[in-house]
């Protein structure tokens, strides 16, 4: 199993106390521990038997186009049928349209187990979640009745069609047009690229959420509207949407990343005209949390393989004397730097999972709470989202590369499966907004534009935690407080420099993102350590948590120092060199 169920349960029940969290939300029928454990067990069984066996074969076979129809790898369609029969598609959907109404933090458990087993397959149903969120928030009652009822059973899937060849993350440059038709629909024409799960044979219909311009729309992002364009029209006829080809790409070969051509395709306006950008972020913010989780999932799958390999692989003797004298050589697990790489992976995986689950709890509060509590949760969630997406994907990629290094030459060849995790993980730093876009979003929008409201709210959480663990964990408490104090202290000068020259914001943003990520993960590890320290003495599992927490604070948190030095170096070292000197050989 490419995920530790023990670690999931420890985090859910002991650290984040899901059952207590649900009761605090005032839900009519809050999920209890028995239900949560049943979901974990059943989801683990489904992913282990149905999805994990298809991961390597799906990567090797990939997708293909036959007579204009995308065909997924062998077994993918059958696994999706099992997924539908299991009722997994509508876990967190509105019960009024066939969903089960469970909180987002429950559905994230399923998402983790599926992605750890088979990321490429998971993206097919995973893309539907963004479409469901957009329709629930902005669709008309009629659209919800028609479309949500099919999405929440899994009979139909969805995609997000944002990117065009000339308009990547800058969707304001999009040229796709939508012309009103007499029957109230719209004729949508244009080409979208890089569309994950854009076409496939797994579901009977696919709903494309398309960003397009109305004829009288203003230029730029102010003139973007959102449309739902089905692959199959509501009367059963084929809509004029076609797959122009499957992208040849580095990884996630089992997922069909398509060029989609819309040729006066029938579509339906969602919400109000020219509000597409605002609606897009309803989809995008949830998707960014999931992509951060993907970084954690691939890191864990590779870490567990590397840990097993390190315990078995024999090479050289320990520098301090033989540790396995009955074997021809010691296992590489005893060598300090192999242990370092494994501990980095373990710290990224377990701390990263805690961060994703914590943000999922905030999402629960945004939906269920009202007033000041809802506003605070929304503030924290908005602030943490670019950190989750940007930092966890970057660290996830670091982690899978450590796994390949531990395998050595056996990791570089395909038969062990490690190199697939490296290839698959690379995309997570690019789609749903690159690391650089997350960094600008964090520093520009979520910190400077809000005058640091989310930042200071989160630093307040950190300081409260540091105070609470002062007695049982004084070493961690002190380092946590120091990091929070420094984080707050370096932000204001950055803002002042950006007022004088906005290039200063761009030059500092990525280092600020990483600095923020390492402190945020320190908060997560302090929470894990707090729970572990309160457990029974002599418990080896909890001792391992405390040891990993101390490793994080000793060997990973100090990375903030180099990021602080880099972001304080300013923009001149980047901008003073001429374009010609930078681009000429």
Q: List Cβ neighbours of 31 (8 Å cut-off, separation of 6 or more).
A: 18, 19, 22, 102, 103, 106
CA distance 120 to 201: 15
Half-sphere exposure of 256 (CA within 13 A, CB side): 27
CA distance 515 to 390: 12
> Exposed (0-12), middle (13-18) or buried (19+): which is 415, by Cβ within 10 Å?
exposed
Q: Is 432 a catalytic residue?
A: yes
The catalytically annotated residue of 398, 432, 467, 580 is: 432
> Exposed (0-12), middle (13-18) or buried (19+): which is 501, by Cβ within 10 Å?
middle
For residue 480, CA distances in Å to 53, 183, 459, 535, 559 come to 42, 61, 10, 21, 14
At 128, list the tokens. 């539907």
Hey, is 242 helix, strand or coil? Answer: strand
For residue 398, CA distances in Å to 111, 311, 341, 421, 524 come to 22, 21, 10, 11, 19
DSSP, residue by residue, 124-152: HHHHHHHHHHHHHHH--HHHIIIIIHHHT
CA distance 469 to 539: 19
- Catalytic residue ranges: 432
């Amino acid at each position: 199993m490419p995920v530790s169920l023990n670690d999931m349960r420890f985090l859910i029940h002991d650290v984040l106390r899901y059952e207590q969290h649900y009761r605090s939300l005032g839900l009519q029928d809050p999920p209890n521990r028995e239900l949560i454990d049943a979901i974990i067990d059943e989801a683990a069984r489904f992913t282990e038997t149905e999805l994990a066996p298809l991961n390597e074969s799906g990567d090797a076979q990939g997708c293909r186009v036959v007579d204009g129809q995308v065909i997924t790898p062998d077994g993918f369609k059958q696994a999706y049928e099992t997924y539908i029969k299991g009722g997994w598609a509508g876990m967190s959907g509105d019960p009024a349209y066939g969903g089960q109404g469970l909180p987002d933090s429950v559905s994230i458990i399923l998402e983790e187990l599926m992605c750890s087993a088979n990321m490429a397959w998971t993206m097919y149903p995973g893309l539907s979640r963004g479409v469901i969120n957009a329709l629930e928030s902005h669709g008309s009652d009629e659209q919800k009745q028609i479309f949500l009822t099919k999405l929440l059973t899994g009979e139909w899937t969805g995609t997000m069609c944002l990117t065009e060849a000339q308009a990547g993350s800058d969707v304001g440059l999009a040229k796709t047009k939508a012309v009103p038709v007499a029957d109230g629909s719209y004729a949508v024409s244009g080409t979208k690229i890089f569309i994950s799960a854009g076409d496939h044979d797994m579901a009977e219909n696919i709903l494309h959420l398309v960003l397009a311009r109305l004829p009288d729309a203003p230029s730029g992002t102010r003139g973007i509207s959102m449309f739902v364009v089905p692959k199959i029209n509501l009367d059963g006829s084929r809509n004029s949407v076609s797959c122009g080809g499957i992208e040849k790409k580095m990884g996630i070969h089992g997922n069909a990343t398509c060029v989609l051509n819309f040729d006066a395709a029938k579509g339906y306006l969602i919400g109000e005209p020219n509000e597409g950008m605002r609606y897009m972020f309803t989809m995008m913010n949830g998707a960014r949390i999931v992509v951060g989780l993907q970084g954690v999932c691939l890191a864990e799958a590779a870490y567990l393989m590397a840990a097993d390999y390190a315990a078995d692989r024999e090479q050289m003797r320990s520098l301090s004397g033989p540790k396995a004298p009955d074997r021809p050589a010691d296992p590489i697990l005893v060598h300090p730097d192999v242990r370092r790489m494994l501990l980095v992976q373990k710290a990224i995986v377990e701390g990263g999972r805690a961060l994703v689950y914590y943000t999922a709890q905030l999402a629960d509060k945004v939906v269920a709470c009202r007033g000041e509590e809802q506003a605070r949760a929304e503030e924290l969630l908005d602030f943490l989202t670019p950190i989750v997406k940007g930092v966890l994907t970057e660290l996830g990629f670091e982690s899978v590369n450590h796994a390949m290094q531990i395998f050595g030459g056996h990791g570089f060849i395909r038969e062990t499966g490690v190199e697939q995790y490296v290839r698959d993980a690379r995309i997570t730093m690019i789609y749903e907004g690159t690391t650089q876009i997350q960094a600008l979003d964090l520093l520009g929008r979520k910190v400077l534009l809000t005058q640091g409201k989310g930042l200071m709210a989160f630093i307040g959480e950190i300081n409260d935690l540091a105070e609470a663990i002062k007695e049982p964990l004084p070493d961690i408490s002190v380092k946590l407080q120091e990091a929070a104090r420094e984080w707050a202290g370096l932000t204001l000068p950055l803002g002042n420099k950006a007022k004088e020259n906005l290039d200063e914001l761009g030059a500092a943003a990525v280092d600020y993102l990483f600095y923020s990520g390492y402190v945020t993960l320190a908060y997560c590890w302090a929470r894990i350590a707090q729970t572990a320290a309160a457990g029974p003495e002599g418990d080896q599992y909890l001792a391992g948590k405390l040891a990993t927490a101390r490793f994080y604070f000793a060997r990973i948190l100090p990375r903030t120092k180099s990021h602080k030095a880099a972001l304080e170096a300013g923009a001149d070292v980047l901008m003073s060199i001429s374009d010609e000197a930078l681009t000429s050989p």
